[in-house]
Structure 1
Amino acid sequence: MVKLKYPPPKEFLETETRNGYTISTDMKKVWAVELDLAQELLRVCEKHKLNIYAISGTLLGAMRHEGFIPWDDDMDFIMSRKDYKILCEVAPREFNAPYFLQESDSGEELVFGCAKLRNSATTALEINRVFSYNQGISIDIFPLDNLSDAQSKKFFQKKRGSLYRTLTWGFAFFSTRYFPAEGISRIPKKVIHKLFSPLFVKLQSFFYKKMTRISQIYNRNKTKQSQVFVFTNMYDDFYNEDFGSVRYEPFEYIKVPVMNGFDRVLKATYGEQWKQPAKEPNCHGTMLFDTDKSYLEYLKESVEIK
């Protein structure tokens, strides 16, 4: 494993079984890299007085497992758009190699709609998809944007945001996120990619910018609810009052910030029964992780991953 700024206790890397699920030493090493990234992220946020909270599986893991959900492979955080922008501004001078905050306003290559803090000395590649951008192991930081209090305006804000996101990703899968199709559709998809990729990149960027603009139109207003627009199909509406004060909860061998209204936030994402463990596949597809080798070496060697 690469050298970490915040190394884990030696016993943490041992294989173990949690909730009937075996976590290998290799996955523990991935977790250790992510926990290292989280500690560096929290250091910078504390220095600049930026409010940040665990969200999604990280929040669920903190409140239900005091650590990672056994079958999870990433960490997620959330912050207001205002603090998110400050984090992106200070990132170049705060995060030194191998740390790298990856964020894109143009949408010409990256269509995440969120920032990723990566360890550039490691690798996290999507199987069968080859990208040229930084693909070190990462943790996600999502911006939280206000929703209108008027039901009709909120409806159209969410619908338009969801439409622009769908169009962004649709064009991306034929251009910057292109990967070969299977079977009979392989050849026509390849032809479309070759002929129209430059146009699709422009359309991808166009709708990405529209998505980020529609998500922020009520951020100057004091509203009751908010949403993470990049994943409009994943998250229900959050209540801004739930993100008032912060508490720190155990998460493996560190502590993560949790919002005061964590129960309602978790119910919005996972339902009333969030306290009951239920093994589900992660939503990140099949990944190749390497905690010893930089993604640059994979790109340099032009390794075909299958």
Structure 2
Amino acid sequence: MFDIKESQNRILEIMIWFHDFCSKNGLRYYMLGGTLLGALRHSGFIPWDDDIDVGMPRKDYEKFLRLTDHKKFGRFIVEENANLKDRCAYLASKVYDTETTMVQKGKIRLRRGLYIDVFPLDGVGNSPAEVKQNYKPILKLERLLYTRQSTVRPGRSLVKNAAIMLSDFIPDSILNEVKLQKEIYRLCREHDYDDSKYVGNLMGNYYEREIVDKDIFGKPVLYRFENMNFYGPEDADAYLTHIYGDYMQLPPEDKRVSLHEFVEFDLNKSFLRSR
């Protein structure tokens, strides 16, 4: 049975391990999106949210993956999506709690555990014109991938639902998810984070809004999150305003719900034993 508070507690334990690992190995990271929003607005999780997103400049991200490759750290393992050969429902790498089992509802049902998302932060260019030129092909591929992997559901626009239905009839030989993902990864790596003026999480759910001036990320700054302190952008206000606008304003009550649905959820069962 899904218990959001217990789920948050277990996810927090993953984040504590991740923070300690990055601190010991000199790796930069930043809380992103709703995680940072929760830190500033709620001093922790958004009460109805049940995930954590972090981003790492590409060099730090790839070093993190090298240091954790094929290793287990107590209950935790890291899975790099770029190395998966099968259809996959996400673009981020993940840190999993191996003592849990979770299968999310959707077209692709991976049996894994509770997790935090770890995204690479990449450069996009040194001017608005360069950003537009460099990000356009990435956005096109991501939308194709999203259409391929999503399911029809109420509340989504008729155009999006129609595109999703149509994609089901396109053979894998023509629209291949693994190839789409590999091309997205290749394009995202083209511009170095530290040499670019504009940077961002190019695989994020907010698309262009996740691209900001690198000075907004700046030097990682600690923010209160539950009973811990985790790193976020130096100018968190500018980052959150760019994505959400008036981010301190609470959404309507009917929007204060988790976006995740599960067909299986067990905090006391290891997904490794059921593979």
Bucket of the pairwise TM-score, normalised by the shorter protein: 0.7 to 0.9
Q: Could you tell me which residue of structure 2 aligns to residue 19 of structure 1?
A: none
Query: What CA deviation, in whole Å up to 9, does each residue of 1:82-121 have, x standing for no partner?
Result: 1000111101376424211111225643352211111121
Task: Indicate the SS of the match to 2:224.
Answer: strand
Unmatched runs of 5 consecutive residues or more in structure 1: 1-23, 174-178, 301-306
**Counterpart Cα distance in 1 of 2:106 and 2:92:** 23
The one-letter amino acid paired with 1:294 is S
Query: What CA deviation, in whole Å up to 9, does each residue of 1:173-209 have, x standing for no partner?
Result: 6xxxxx7999xx9xx98x958xx44x367x2222212
Q: Are positions 1:217 and 2:190 aligned together?
A: yes
Preserved CA contact (<8 Å) 1:234 1:269: no
Structure 1 position 47, deviation (Å): 1.3
Query: Aligned match of 1:153 in 123, 130, 148?
Result: 130
Query: Aligned match of 2:219 in 223, 238, 245?
Result: 245
Cα–Cα, structure 1 residues 224 and 242, in superposed 2: closer, same or farther, change >3 Å? same
**Counterpart Cα distance in 2 of 1:171 and 1:129:** 9
Cα–Cα, structure 1 residues 259 and 128, in superposed 2: closer, same or farther, change >3 Å? closer
Number of equivalent positions: 261
Query: Aligned match of 1:119 in 97, 100, 125?
Result: 97
Using the aligned pairs only, state the percent identity: 23
Q: Say which is worse superposed, 258-267 or 234-243, in terms of deviation.
A: 234-243
In the TM superposition, 1:1-306 aligns within 5 A as 26-92=3-69, 95-106=72-83, 108-109=85-86, 110=88, 112-127=90-105, 129=107, 131=109, 133-172=110-149, 192=169, 196-197=171-172, 199=173, 203-219=176-192, 222-231=195-204, 233-234=206-207, 236=209, 237-271=211-245, 273-278=246-251, 279=253, 280-281=255-256, 284-287=259-262, 288-295=264-271
**Counterpart Cα distance in 1 of 2:108 and 2:183:** 26
Cα–Cα, structure 1 residues 219 and 119, in superposed 2: closer, same or farther, change >3 Å? same
Cα–Cα, structure 1 residues 92 and 210, in superposed 2: closer, same or farther, change >3 Å? closer
Task: Indicate the SS of the match to 2:69.
Answer: helix
Structure 1 position 162, deviation (Å): 0.7
**Counterpart Cα distance in 2 of 1:265 and 1:99:** 30
Q: Say which is worse superposed, 67-76 or 286-295, in terms of deviation.
A: 286-295
Unmatched runs of 5 consecutive residues or more in structure 2: 155-161
The one-letter amino acid paired with 1:286 is E
Query: For the aligned residues, what is the CA RMSD?
Result: 3.1
Q: Could you tell me which residue of structure 2 aligns to residue 11 of structure 1?
A: none
